[in-house]
Each structure stands twice: as C-alpha cells, then as structure tokens.
Chain A
C-alpha cells in the first residue's frame, strides 16, 4: 500500500475515485421502502418536510432564481469537529440557512447525520435519489474528514468508514456503503464539491506519516480534472477545526453569486476562498507588533510574539487572529496558542515536532531584534510624552496618587519634546493669521492660560 500512497497522481490513468467505482461497479437498485415501514422515522416525516412550514411559510422574497439547495454532508476519516464548528457559526448561522431565514439565500436542505431526525435507510433516501438523478433540486456535497483508501479495506472484505447500507452486494444483499463510495457516486452530478476542514482539504492528521488507511484529501481523490456540473473544481475551506464562519460565509458567498447579486467569489490556486486565506495569520496577529519591535515570548504564557516558542504564524495562511474562533472571540495567538499550521497542506508533518521554534524564524527574528532595539526606545519616548495632559506640561506636575508615581520628564526630554512639537505643528493651519470672529474676545474666567512657552 505504501506505493498507493506515494505514486504520482499526475501519471496515473485513473483517479482513485474512478478506480473505486470501476471495482464496485454501477448501482441501480435502492432500499425497498415499502418493506422498511417507519423504522428509523420517529417523527413520521423527513427533516426537510418537518421544517417546511417555517422554511416556506410565505412566498420567498425574490432575490434570485434558487429556492432550494440540497446539501449532503459526509464524514470520512473525521472527528466531527468541522460539524461542531459549523454549529457555532453565526455569519450566517446554520439555523438561518436551514430555515430559509437568511434574506436572499435559498433554503438549504441539509442531510447531516448529527442533525437529522430520521435514521437508517430513510435518512439515506435523498442520497439515493441524487444518485438516481431524481432529486427535486440541485445538490452540493460537503465532505468532512479525509477520504480513506477503501479499495484496500474492500479487498479484505471490510471497510474503514461506512455510513449506511444499500442493496449493492451480490444478489442485492445489503452491504455497508463507505463515505468514500458515496462521495465518488455523488460527485459527477453535484453542483459543487466542498471540502471542509484540513482532513478533507489536504488529508490532515489521518493521512499523516505512518497512517494505515491510505487517507487522502478530496482533491487527491477526485483528481485534477474534476469539475462539478457548474464547472467548479473542489472548493477547500481548511482549518483544524475550520472557523465555522469561514465555511458558512463561503457557502453563502457562492449562493449570493448564484442568486445574481453577489460578486464572483475568488478562489486561490488551491481552491481556498481568497478573501479568507490570502493573508498570513501573522499579518493580522494581535502580537505581530511585538515581532516588529523584536520582543519575543520566552515562557509559555508570556504576552509577546510567540515565534520563538513554536509559532509558525508568519508563513501560514489563516484568518483566525482577525476573525476569532467563534462570535469573534478567541483566536490562537489572541489567547496565547502558537500556530501549528493547522490550515496548511503541509499539516501536520511539516510542522512537527510541535513546541519548537521554526528554524527559519532565526534570520527574521535576528533582524527584527536589531530594528526593534532602535524603534522600541523611540516609541517609548513618544509614548511617555503622550501619556501627559497638556495641562500637566503647563503645570510641570502630574497629580497622580497611584503608588507608581509618574516621574516628570528631564530637561533634555522636555526640550526634545518641544522640538518634536515644532516639527509636528510645522504645517498646522491653526498658525495661519486669519481673523477668528466666532467667539468672544475675552476668555471666560479661569480659561486656558497661555502656553508655558
């Protein structure tokens, strides 16, 4: 199998998805629902129908052509962390998408094993309809977790990851159907294939060195030439976990565009939303300025830049420091966590061992220490002056009663600030000699005395 994990996808005649489908063959038969009865259907209705009274309560406001989109959520080698992240999102929230309550967007009919009310074969029915081409609206497939090499497990008569059974065994017997197989069968007619989280986008931890399952990313599985029916390659929203709002925003952005009012969302060369992953996480880091001034954390918990305690932020594409983790709260470096590159295709093996400074940071931190040794004192100098009221300057005293009494500037410092003020006011139009006629000539009693100078 080692060779299945290392061979070049570019030279292979078939993608892993094609290989699997060739092995398993086409399917035509599905569950016999008459035999099934209500088994696994405790509310007597599919989740879609249960929500319909709210989701289609009145005629939808007409923003665009789409009224409904199905979204099939599959979990490969996953930890469900992406699902959890999405339930935390609020721009837009999951519930507003599902209830058709986000103005301008079509109702999203989500088929998600963690949320749906129906279980078992009933739960799988819409996916069967999609494969048979009988679904009543366009669909997208969302994959969380990596694709595992099920050809290998299949050869041993088993599976790595199954979700549901279908009568696709010999003589129409029920057999477990893997997430990998569902994805392969649904991809050709999907409006979009969206990978959420670093496992689905780049393989992630399940595909790390030494893995026994041959785990890979969705784009590795479907191959370079994959295009959805809308002509879109695999869309990737990475992160381990991803920021829930990054995902919901990407879905919404695509739908805004399809509805005719949003701009064409820009994706980078790896299929990431460019407006979310175009910057390194360092560029918006709340601790970035410490780097600029050459101040670095030495111990875990220190407030300065974390590069020397293992942070890879300057070379990692991510927006968590500006967006936060949930509801704009959190963010790795905001809280004191060093970046381990969890949004990156090189994660994890290009970042291990963790808690160790990236060797490449040596050059840049040395330079920033040198620059910082000059910049930091200058900034402190100005900062000291700005921490004084103009009145204190005039009076020559700071009436602070806190134990750390403010010291008064030295004569040299005072003179330097005077010089600085002169520079600052060199183009100040207040110095022009126009007549001010909008006030009384005399100042009210006790008004500003003339400047000490």
Chain B
C-alpha cells in the first residue's frame, strides 16, 4: 500500500483500483494531505508582520546566479529570529517546446526535445527515444542500450563536477567565507582536514582557497574534468550537448575498438579524481557541522524522494509498459519513492499512476482532462496525470497568493517529493536490487563502491543514507554519485567489450526505411522514464495517426522548483529555504547577503532551462493562446 493520500488500493495480484464509493476521487478537496494551516492565512500573517517590523525583510533575488537557467527566489527574512519566514521560487522562462512538438512526426521528438536543456545534454534525447520506443513497440539491441548507458554515465561525469565546483563550490570558498561568514575563517585555518592524505589540502582554509572562483585549484580542476567527460560523450554522440546519435530503437554510433579504447583511456583518469572529490565533499560537511550545529538545517527537508531509475539492463529492457516493473527494477539505479525515510515502492507503474501536475500557482490556465482514466494495465489515472494534462500557457502578473512562476507543481500521492542525482543512491541503497557487480553494492542503508586502482590504489568507499537531508548532504551525495555513475560507465564499457567480443554489431533495431514503416497509425500512449544530472526525468507521449498529439516533459528541477500546490504545500526549494536558519551575522541588517538561502537553493543543482517546458496544449489550445495574447496587441 504505497498510497496514503490518493484513494488507490491494490488487489492480491498487485493491480491498482480506486477505493469504491468515492465520487470524484481525484478532486483536490477530496484527496488531500494533512496540513495545519492554509497557505493564504500564513502568507497574510507574514505580510502583516512585514508591515509592522523593520527587521523583517521582504526581498526578491532575481536572478539567482550560478545555477543553470533563470530562477528568482523571493524571501521574507526575519533577521532578529534568524529565520526565513517565507519563500517563493520563480522559474522565469517559458519557451513552449511541447507546443512545438504537437502535430509533428514522432521521429522529430528526439532532436526537438533534446533542446529542452543544454546543461543536461543528452538526457532529453534519450527520454524521448524511450517514449517513442514504447509507443512504437521497438526495442534497442543490447549494444544500443549499452552505448546509451555509457553516454549517459559519462554525461554525469561532466554534470556533477560542473555543479560542485563552478556553481555550488564558490559558496564555500575563501572569497565568500571571509566576507559572509568571517567567524568561520579562523576556525578553517586551524581545522586540519581529515582527508588531507587523499586531496592534499592541509587545512580547511587551504581547501576553501582552492574553491575560489576561476582562480582556485579545485575550481580549475573541476572545469578540466567536465571537459574530459564531454570528450567521452562526444566519442559516442558526435557533439555535446544535444547528441547526434540517438535514434528510435537504438543509436547510430559507429563503434570500433578505437571508440572503446578512447572512452576507456579517459575514464581511467577519472577514478583518482573521484577519490579527491569525495574527500573534499566529506570534509566540508564535517567542518561546518563542527563549527556550528545549525548547518545541519541549511536546506533541510524531510526524506521524501522520487526517482524513475537510470541505465537499463541491456538484456531485460524490452521497451514495453507491460513489463516495466520487471525491467525497471533491473536498472543500475533502482526506481523508487521514499516517503519519510521509508522506501514505499520500486515499481515504475506505482510511480507513474501516483503522478499529478497542478498549475494553481503557475502561469497556465487549468485544463486537466479525463481523457485516460486508466493506464494500459488498467491502473487508475488522475485527471492531473501528464497523459491527461492539457496545460495552457498564459503569461500574467505575479502574485504570491496566486500565480508566480512558469514551473508547475508535480506531486506524487499529493506529497512533496524531491529529485536529485543523490536520490539514485538513496533508492538503490535501500532497495538492494541492483545488478551484481564487482564495483557497486547496496546494503539497505548504504552504497559500497570500489574505486579501481589508478595512480592511487584501489579503495572501497561507503556512502551512508544521511540522517538529515540538507545542503551539505546533497553535495556529498552528488560527489558519491559521480563515482557511482563512473562505475556504471566502467561496467557498461566492459559489457560493450563483451558484446564486441561476441561479434555483436547491431546498435539499432531498425534501419531508416523500416523505421518509417513502423510508425503506428492508431492511438498510442507511452512514457520514457529516464534521469538527468539532477535526477528524475520523464517524457509522456500520446500519438495518433502517426503524429504527436500530446507531449509532456517533467524534469527534476520542475519538481524541485515547484510552487505551492493546491493545498498550500511549498515546493522543495521553498520548503528547504523556509527550514534554513540564517546563520550569517546580520547584526547589521545591511550585511545580510542571504548566503544560507543560496547554499540551500544551490545544493539542489537548479537547472531551469528545461523546468518550464512542461506545458502543452493541443492544436486548438495553441490558437487560443495566440488569440488571447494577441487581444491586447
């Protein structure tokens, strides 16, 4: 029984049904989470406080820099109490990619959807390919899946250091600490790094100096390693971001021993670096927790995570919805949902049918439909499910109580869940279902990872499920995810060698003319479950008469940047900011930098480009948008 809010039950064979006797079971007033106070009441209270008190600051940080894309964060900060009373995350960009996909040939989805995000590179192209394959019923040959896994593992090798050193790292650098947290600097100078023998920095102050933007050794090394991993990706994809090799039914990469060796040789340089990265991001939390216990609560949220899994088993994956629970659980990274620290499911169907997206606080008109009451297996679907969603973009004025962002509000079982690459570690550790491996294993409460020997010797490291998810644990998790993903790259490379040894050459299921003939003419509904640098990624596709009739992208940063839901529950960024204590010295209010909020927000690795393209309409809707916008023109 993984659902607590939605009235969904399971029979003996695990099939889901709606609890009987409830009229409008998905109505937002019927199935709702338990909440103490409505958000409107809370906001009104805060506005009264702001009006009365000089020490409460109501400010909007627009733009928040050192994240990918356009994000603004509004905060109400009580400088006397050292608390963020309120927060609103605003995605400030809409491009309408799904609208553009409407009515197109399904083959176009890969290259068009890829352009949803240029930070996450190939992930959208892959998710689109999985959606198309499920709709068309074509399954890539094993080598095709292995090449995809190698590509996408290598991509994480670029994504994680980019975030840790170029985007988040400066917040822990000498330059920022000396100015925002001067009280920490003398402590840092005295604090001997636990992992000096691995990363080489004697004191925390030395390490922080190496994090300085552009000039610091760690910053520069991180930038170089993003380049190395991108070289690995383009060996297979031709270019980065936006791969040129993803085709429906596989890849078009011409694979030779040279390709594998060049990939292998670059991968070989990464493992020593991964050891240094984990050592750095183990020492940073240790120092901060010791310096001030309140850092445990910077960016804190309850342990509610979701992930659809990543990197398929090339022999189990069959591109069907019917068998998705079986092949899903064989992924290197196990799909799952964790609520309040408990793993409640690892089934992709549960993840799918519990998914809803709301637009109460987003610049869209409401337009849920009941086009599909059930999925292909007969499980019930909400009118707010992506297959039923028909969201209509509508730019309008910003109002904290009403609409204030281009992101929408995805919820699972109407609960606020978080997505992250570190969520992969969490699911995989708890589920203990990952494939047998010499390098990766799960214990139920931790992941054990064996780092192969490089110039530094072989070493086993362990990532433990943190007691409290906060900014520091997200960053630590990302560093361990870097190693995890690179070990998946290694396992996939070894699989590619094995297949090549067996004489396997096929990388795609169909040739171009067979592909054209395979486009179905009836109505098909499908979903591509994949991952991005920040975790969760899904593309929901509906096609009919050989063309796309609905397309919905849900990205991890849509989940994390989501605004309030219909019940007033804040999105993960907002919740994390409101749980963050203001630790910086604000005895002089003019010195308030909001660094604690920035650390909280950046720990999610916000990636906004693809956050705001989740929104579609069918043909007539697009015209409606045009008309309404044109009216004032």
Question: B394: nearest residue on chain A (CB-CB)?
Answer: A156
Chain A residues touching B, majority SS: loop
A289 CA to B377 CA, complexed, in Å: 51
Residue B317, interface by CB 8 Å = no
Complex: chain B residue closest to A23, CB-CB: B633
Query: Which one of B93, B241, B595 contacts A42 once the chains associate, using CB atoms below 8 Å?
Result: B595
Can you list, as one digit per residue, whether each of B472-505 has a CB less than 8 Å from chain A (1) or not (0)?
A: 0000000000000000000000000000000001
Minimal beta-carbon separation of B80 from chain A (angstroms) = 16
B461 at the A/B interface (Cβ < 8 Å)? no
Do A320 and B395 touch (CB < 8 A)? Answer: no
Stretch with Cβ within 8 A of B (4 or more), from A259-267, A350-358, A420-428: A350-358
A338 to B246 Cα, complex, angstroms: 10
User: From residue 159 to 202 of chain A, which have CB atoms closer than 8 A to chain B?
Assistant: 159-165, 174, 176
Given contacts A120-B64, A335-B253, contact A241 B241 (CB under 8 A): yes
Please tell me which one of the listed residues B166, B226, B240 contacts residue A115 in the complex, with CB atoms under 8 A apart: B166
Q: A331 touching B239 by the CB < 8 A rule?
A: yes
Judging by beta carbons under 8 Å apart, are A337 and B243 in contact?
Answer: yes
A330-368 near B? 1/0 per residue, CB < 8 Å: 111111111110100000100011111100000000000
Known contacts A80-B117, A165-B60, A210-B99: does B68 contact A160 (CB below 8 Å)?
Answer: no
Do A205 and B96 touch across chains, with their CB atoms under 8 A apart?
A: no
- Select one of A41, A79, A87 contacting B593, CB under 8 A: A41
Least CB distance from B220 to A in Å reads 7
Instruction: Decide if A39 touches B592 in the complex (CB within 8 Å).
Output: yes
CB < 8 Å neighbour of B65 from A80, A114, A176, A308 = A114
Q: Any chain A CB within 8 A of the CB of B359?
A: no
Quick check: is B507 within 8 A (CB to CB) of the other chain? yes
Residue in B closest to A177 when the chains form the complex, CB atoms: B62
Instruction: Indicate whether A375 reaches chain B with its CB closer than 8 angstroms.
Output: no
Q: How far is the CA of A324 from the CA of B590 in the complex (A)?
A: 50
1/0 contact string of B63-77 vs chain A (CB within 8 Å): 111111110100000
B162, B180, B214, B625: most-surrounded residue (chain A CB, <10 A): B214
Note all chain B residues with C-beta closer than 8 A to A65.
none
Give the distance in Å from the alpha carbon of A339 to the alpha carbon of B255 in the complex: 18
Stretch at the interface among A220-228, A247-255, A294-302, A433-441: A294-302
Cross-chain contact B610 with A79 (CB below 8 angstroms): yes
**A156-B632, A336-B253, A337-B252 in contact; A38/B102 too (CB < 8 A)?**
no
- Complex CA–CA separation, A54 to B60 (angstroms): 32
Tell yes or no: A378 within 8 A of B by CB. Answer: no
**Structural contact, A240 and B242, CB atoms closer than 8 A:** yes
CA distance A303 to B257 in the complex (A): 13
Provide the A53-75 mask, 1 if CB < 8 A to any CB of B, else 0: 01000000000000000000001
Supposing A152-B629, A176-B398 touch, asked if A164 and B63 sit within 8 A by C-beta, the answer is yes
Contacts of A115 in B (CB 8 A): 65-66, 166, 213
Q: How far, in angstroms, from A241 to B100 measured CA to CA in the complex? A: 19
Complex Cα gap A355–B517 (Å):
12
Report the nearest A residue to B247, measured CB to CB.
A300
B397 at the interface (CB under 8 A from A): yes
Query: How many Å from the CB of A314 to the closest CB on chain B?
Result: 16
Question: How far is A112 from B273 in the complex, measured between Cα atoms in Å?
Answer: 28
B104-124 interface (Cβ within 8 A of A): 104-105, 107-108, 110-112, 115-119, 121
Residue of B whose beta carbon sits closest to that of A163: B63
- Contact A80/B118 with A215-B95, A352-B104, A355-B107 known, Cβ cut-off 8 Å: yes
Q: Are A120 and B234 within 8 A (Cβ)? A: no
A204 at interface (Cβ–Cβ under 8 A)? yes
CB contact list, A1-16 vs B, under 8 A: 1-2, 4
Stretch touching chain A among B171-179, B330-338, B349-357: B171-179
Residue-by-residue, is B613-633 near A (CB-CB < 8 Å gives 1, otherwise 0)? 000010000100110111111
In the complex, which residue of chain A has the Cβ closest to the Cβ of B180? A42
What mask results when residues 48 to 64 of chain B are scored 1 for a CB within 8 Å of chain A, else 0?
Answer: 00000000010111111
Closest to A124 in B: B63
Nearest A residue (CB) for B236 = A335
CA–CA, A204 and B118, complex, Å: 14
Chain A residues contacting B59 (CB-CB under 8 Å) are 39, 120
Name the segment of B281-289, B425-433, B449-457, B508-516 touching the other chain: B508-516
Question: For the complex, is A140 an interface residue (Cβ under 8 Å from B)?
Answer: no
User: Would B236 and A119 count as touching, CB distance under 8 A?
Assistant: no
CB of A330 within 8 A of CB of B117, answer no
**Cβ-defined contact, A340 with B244, below 8 A:** yes
- CB pair A157–B625 under 8 Å, yes or no, is no
By the criterion CB–CB under 8 Å, are B511 and A298 in contact?
Answer: yes
| B112 contacts A37, C-beta separation under 8 Å | no
* A326 neighbours in B (Cβ, 8 Å): 227, 230-231, 234, 240
CA–CA, A241 and B259, complex, Å:
22
- Contact of A79 with B116 in the complex, beta carbons under 8 Å: yes
- B97 close to A (CB within 8 Å): yes
For A106, the chain B residues whose CB sits under 8 A away are none
Evaluate contact between B512 and A123: CB separation under 8 angstroms: no
Contact A301 B506 (CB under 8 A): yes
Given contacts A79-B118, A158-B363, A327-B227, contact A333 B238 (CB under 8 A): yes
Which residues of chain B are within 8 angstroms of A99 by Cβ–Cβ distance?
Answer: 214-215
Interface size bracket, A side: 35 or more
For residue A315, CB closer than 8 A to chain B, the reply is: no
Q: Judge whether A151 and B633 touch: CB under 8 Å.
A: yes
Q: Are B92 and A211 in contact (CB under 8 A)?
A: no
> Does A230 sit within 8 A of B, measured CB to CB?
no
Contacts of A4 in B (CB 8 A): 630, 633
Q: Is the CB of A241 within 8 A of B238?
A: no
Segment at the B interface, from A43-51, A131-139, A394-402, A445-453: A43-51
Contact check, B167 vs A47: say whether CB atoms are below 8 A apart. no
Q: Is A38 in contact with B119, judged by CB distance below 8 angstroms?
A: no
Shortest Cβ distance from B632 into chain A, in angstroms?
A: 3
Complexed CA–CA distance, A354 and B617 (Å): 23
B115 CB to nearest chain A CB (Å): 4
CB distance from B450 to the nearest CB of A (A): 28
Contact A320 B254 (CB under 8 A): no
A55 to chain B, nearest CB (A): 9
A412 to chain B, nearest CB (A): 35
Residues in B neighbouring A237, C-beta threshold 8 A: none
Write the nearest CB–CB distance from A131 to chain B, whole angstroms.
17
A210 touching B234, Cβ below 8 Å: no
Please state if A50 and B628 are interface contacts (CB–CB under 8 Å): no
Query: Cβ of B511 and Cβ of A299 under 8 Å apart?
Result: yes
Which B residues lie within 8 Å of A271 (CB)?
A: none
Q: B251 in the interface, Cβ–Cβ < 8 Å?
A: yes
- Residue from A38, A45, A117, A164 in contact with B592 in the complex, judged by beta carbons closer than 8 Å: A38
Alpha-carbon distance A263/B99, docked complex (angstroms):
45
Q: Roughly how many angstroms separate A212 CA and B264 CA in the complex, as a whole number?
A: 44
Q: State in angstroms the CA–CA spacing of A326 and B397 once bound together.
A: 42
Nearest CB in chain A: distance from B596 CB, A: 10
Q: Would A123 and B93 count as touching, CB distance under 8 A?
A: no
Contact B238 A330 (CB under 8 A): yes
Is B63 touching A123 in the complex (CB atoms < 8 A)?
Answer: yes
* Shortest Cβ gap from A6 to chain B (Å): 12
Q: Say whether B166 contacts A330, CB under 8 Å.
A: no
- In the complex, the answer to whether A87 meets B223 with C-beta atoms within 8 Å is yes
**Chain B residues whose CB sits within 8 angstroms of the CB of A78 once the complex forms:** 93, 118, 609
B-chain residues with CB within 8 Å of residue A370 when the two chains form the complex: none
Given A77-B93, A119-B598, A300-B512, decide whether A208 and B100 contact each other with a Cβ distance below 8 A.
yes
- Could you say which of B64, B231, B617 contacts A330, with CB atoms under 8 Å apart? B231
**Distance in Å from the Cβ of B134 to the closest Cβ of chain A?**
18
Task: Supply 6 A–B pairs (Cβ within 8 Å), ascending by A.
Answer: A4-B633, A83-B118, A84-B241, A160-B95, A240-B242, A326-B231
Residues of B that sit less than 8 Å from A by CB: 57, 59-70, 72, 92-97, 99-100, 102-105, 107-108, 110-112, 115-119, 121, 162, 166-167, 170-171, 173, 175-176, 178-180, 212-215, 220, 223, 226-227, 230-231, 233-245, 247-256, 259, 262, 363, 393-398, 505-508, 511-512, 515-516, 589-595, 598, 609-610, 617, 622, 625-626, 628-633
Interface pairs A-B: 8 shortest CB-CB: A81-B118, A337-B244, A330-B234, A158-B395, A155-B632, A44-B179, A79-B118, A337-B238
